[in-house]
Chain A
Amino acid sequence: MDAMQLMTFLSPTAPRRLRVIENILVGKRTVSTLYWGMRYQQLSWLGYEKKLTREVMDQAVTELTAKGWVNLVQTNAQLTDQGGAARQKLMQNRYQPRCLNLRLVVDIETFWQRFLLATQVVSEQSYQNYHYYPLQVSWQVKQSVKRWFSRFHEADLSSQFYSFWQHFFRQLPDSQAAFMSRLLVGHQRPGETRLQVARDFGLSEAEAGVMATDLVCQLARAVSQTQLASVNSLLTGLKRSLISTSAQQTLTSFMAGDSLTVISRKRALKLSTVREHLLEAAIMLPKEQFDFQRVLPLKLVTEVQRRFVDTPLDEWQFKQVGDLSIEFWQFRLIEILRSKQTDDQH
């Protein structure tokens, strides 16, 4: 994270809560973080920078404030006119992620470790070299690549990997293909570090990080689509659920028809926890996959929407519906529904 990266998360038209931006990047799955992350269309960044510290965040904010690009009210930041113009300019030149959403459903870090190691193994095999230093990876990754190699080593891996990479690089802009190819490791090629490539391309470390992550997401997508079993099988077991395991269990019971009280008793969870699970599911999943009607009587939804017909969603206040028979979590669900019906990209 640096100041420019932070700029991309801010808006000139509405204040953004800095703590939400930070919590999304760190990967905190609280309902409030997820809700606002959805509103800021920032969910694909969930857990992108788990080691982000407050200090680094504050530095970025201070830098933008000093430039006069950001107005800060407590911990809410909004771009000034000048900041808005700077952001627009920035967005024209900066790498725009295309496939970051995939991070939420595939373990991208492990995938890259596997794929990079597999590429090295195939490269060395193509030179019939069996004495070399393999990339240092976790025991799990090493074992899975070993199993993979013993299954496929008799296939023409060299040609298959060559064609796959060639196909993948061809559909990327040349500079992006160059960027990624230089990270690869193989026979007499220790590969370049991200920082080295970034320096050559004149990119900041943060921007190079975004680019590398997004390219790996695109790579994972290409791997999932290829017919080549040797390539495709490197994705095995790396699927992730969009929601936490516990929330998934709650959702399964809910979709099977259990009432919230029954779920609470069966799973020995507080009712409030059950509700949080459902809210998490409603935020994260496509709206077709969550049964809003089960917990939101149509009349209630219509009435709430009628009251706020002229109010932008982010300005809805719970107290304005205080006279209706509605609980806060239901109110939030209606907000989620509304968000998904109008401007959410899920």
Chain B
Amino acid sequence: MISTEQLYQVLEQRFGFTRFRPGQLEALKQLAAGHHTLAVLPTGAGKTLIYELYGAVTSQLVLIVSPLISLMADQVTTLNVQGEKRAAALTSLMTYAEKNWVLRHLGQYRFLFVSPEMLSQDQVLAAFQTAKVGLLVVDEAHCISTWGPDFRPEYLLLGQIRHQLNDPLTLMTTATATPQVRADVKQKLQLPQAVEIIQPVDRPNIFLDVESFQTRADKDDRLVELVAGLKKPGVIYFSSKKKANEMAALLNAKTASRVAAYHADLDPETRFKVQQQFMQNQLDVICATSAFGMGIDKDNVRFVIHYHLPSDVEAYWQEIGRAGRDGEQSVAILLYQPGDEQIARFLSEATVPQENEIHYYFQQDAPQVAGDVKANLIWFYKQHRYREEQVQASFAKRRQQRLSALQKMLSYVRTSGCKRQYIQRYFDQFPSGSKAPKHCCSIDEPGFNLSELGLLAAKSEPAGEQKELEATAWQSILLQLFNDAGQASGTT
């Protein structure tokens, strides 16, 4: 049995902290007592520390199911940087031989990250069956509920896979989950008895603002004005990669801020550079798609702006959660133009196959063509012996759910009541006795100004000279890169 003292000891020795953040110790105690646990902790609350510490204390293999390759790579790198070398990610980017090597040497690892698709491969599953998994972690567990049916259906197999792994102790983590999503996650993982550790989703230091515009031009002008005026750094979310690129170029041209786009189409080198520039305060603003965020840990983000309407409240809350992790006043601004919901609706529906598509793909015998997402999806269900009527019914329900989720997002925009209370009600959390923050939202404080919130940039901030900071001659860059090499090469 692991004692609380032991947990504190490792926390200090290994992570250099003397205190746990809310929710961490509770979750660890439950795990130590052998209870499956669903931890719903707000973004930035330190969910990864829970399983990292558990792995360190118990010296057992921790297997983490994670949704994104880039996220896994980030997590492995973070562990490496902390000095934990026994971490790896099994991904589709590895060759067959490399994957085999890792699978044959599972004993040498403490933390292994896999995607649900990878874990459902027979060979991978077989390897993990023989190695004893001390803790199975389902990271971003809401994906089971929000992604399962119409996108990456392998998430639906996780419950069955858990059994095949001999029912290891399981930790599910997420930042946002309504009671329905929590119930759905537990049901799909076949862990109805799992203990729930829930921290309030509210982020009182983030002021909530929604602004409406009649035309696109007005919205663009306002965005430029905001970026020019607001205290940096900040993140602007877009639904399209093209728009993110365009606006990054526009903001670079029209403001003194250093702005870059970040989305899935960038090559890994560019992604690394943009991410690191942002982390090292060499970029002020990122124009991102939802690809940016998971795994980004920057404390002092002062604003998150949404240029497009997100498809549901969970996604919105997750994304604005990047702001103000340091506890300082920050702001989330949603720019809305009537009709934006059509884009969100289109994007939301585009992933769910329509009735005739389902019928068409069900008639096909041959396996999928590479890259045809919908064909792959239907093929998955066919392979797992679902009948067409079942699939039709499940997708009809799914379309309805997506629409209703979007409707709720739209209601957030339109509500004439307090935005914060709307969110709390959405997540079924009611402020129990806690007072609303001094600065809450644009409804409660209609005449708010950003200056009062302390969110306006000082006049002298991002000036042209900062933009030119990088324009250095190659000689100086080399001297900066290779410490003392200038002198050393002269002496050798």
Which A residues fall within an 8 A CB radius of B? 113, 116, 119, 122-123, 126-127, 131-140, 143, 156, 158-159, 161-163, 165-166, 169, 174, 177-178, 180-182, 184-196, 199-200
Contact = CB atoms under 8 A, between A and B. Distances in A.
A154 to B, nearest CB: 14
Nearest to B477: A181
Contacts of B93: 138-139
Contacts of A187: 480-481, 483
B481 A186 contact: yes
Contacts of A163: 485, 489
B83 A182 contact: no
B81 A162 contact: no
Given A132-B81, A134-B77, A196-B260, A158 B477 contact: no
Nearest to B487: A159
Contacts of A158: 482-485, 488
Interface in B105-139: none
Given A116-B269, A192-B470, 17 more contacts: A126-B484, A131-B82, A136-B70, A136-B268, A137-B268, A139-B93, A140-B98, A156-B488, A162-B485, A162-B488, A182-B477, A185-B273, A185-B276, A189-B477, A190-B282, A193-B260, A196-B470
Contacts of A138: 93
Interface in B434-492: 470-475, 477-478, 480-486, 488-489, 492
B113 to A, nearest CB: 13
Nearest to B102: A139
Contacts of B268: 135-137
B258 to A, nearest CB: 9
B94 interface: yes
B49 interface: no
A199 B485 contact: no
A131 B271 contact: no
Instruction: List 5 A-B pairs, minimum CB-CB distance, nearest first.
Output: A190-B276, A162-B485, A181-B474, A126-B483, A186-B481
B95 interface: yes
A140 B99 CA distance: 11
Interface size class of B (residues with CB under 8 A): 35 or more
15 contacts: A132-B81, A133-B276, A136-B73, A136-B272, A159-B488, A159-B492, A162-B481, A162-B489, A178-B474, A181-B474, A184-B481, A189-B481, A190-B272, A190-B277, A194-B270
B6 interface: no
A236 to B, nearest CB: 18
B274 interface: yes
A339 B272 CA distance: 45
Contacts of B477: 181-182, 184, 189
A109 B127 CA distance: 33
Contacts of A190: 272-273, 276-277, 279-280, 282
Given A113-B269, A136-B268, A162 B478 contact: yes
B270 A162 contact: no
Contacts of B98: 139-140, 143
A182 B492 contact: no
Given A133-B81, A139-B94, A190-B273, A119 B473 contact: no
B260 A200 contact: no
Contacts of A156: 488, 492
A200 B471 contact: yes
A181 B482 CA distance: 13
Interface in B60-87: 70, 73, 77, 81-83
Given A162-B486, A188-B280, A195 B481 contact: no
A158 B490 CA distance: 12
Contact of B485 (A126, A131, A182): A126
Interface of B: 70, 73, 77, 81-83, 91, 93-95, 98, 252, 260, 268-274, 276-277, 279-280, 282, 470-475, 477-478, 480-486, 488-489, 492
A194 B488 CA distance: 31
A169 B474 contact: yes
A166 B478 contact: yes
A106 B181 CA distance: 51
A159 B472 CA distance: 21
Nearest to B91: A139
A163 B489 CA distance: 7
Contacts of B470: 182, 192, 196, 200
B151 to A, nearest CB: 23
Nearest to B270: A193
A131 B269 CA distance: 19
A131 B81 contact: yes
Of B277, B475, B485, chain A has the most CB atoms within 10 Å of the CB of B485
A155 to B, nearest CB: 11
Given A156-B492, A178-B474, A127 B483 contact: yes
Contacts of A200: 470-471
Nearest to A165: B478
Contacts of A184: 477, 481
Nearest to B83: A131
Contacts of B478: 162, 165-166, 169, 181
Nearest to A113: B269
- Residue of A131, A162, A194 with most chain B CB atoms under a 10 A cut-off: A162
Q: Which of B252, B473, B483 has its CB near the most chain A CB atoms (within 10 A)?
A: B483
Contacts of B486: 162
A315 B307 CA distance: 56
A139 B485 CA distance: 30
A140 B279 CA distance: 27
Contacts of A199: 252
A159 B487 CA distance: 9
A246 B471 CA distance: 48
Contacts of B260: 193, 195-196
Contact of B95 (A135, A140, A162, A191): A140
A200 B477 CA distance: 16
Contact of A191 (B91, B273, B483, B484): B273
Nearest to A200: B471
Nearest to A178: B474
Contacts of B252: 199
Nearest to A177: B474
Contacts of A127: 483
Contact of B473 (A133, A166, A178): A178
Contacts of B276: 133, 185, 190-191
Contacts of A194: 270
Nearest to B485: A162
Nearest to B276: A190
A132 B77 CA distance: 9
B273 A123 contact: no
A137 B270 CA distance: 11
A226 to B, nearest CB: 15
Nearest to B471: A200
Contacts of B81: 131-133
A126 B482 contact: yes
Nearest to B90: A139
Q: Which of A136, A161, A165, A177 has the most CB of B within 10 A?
A: A136
A135 B269 contact: yes
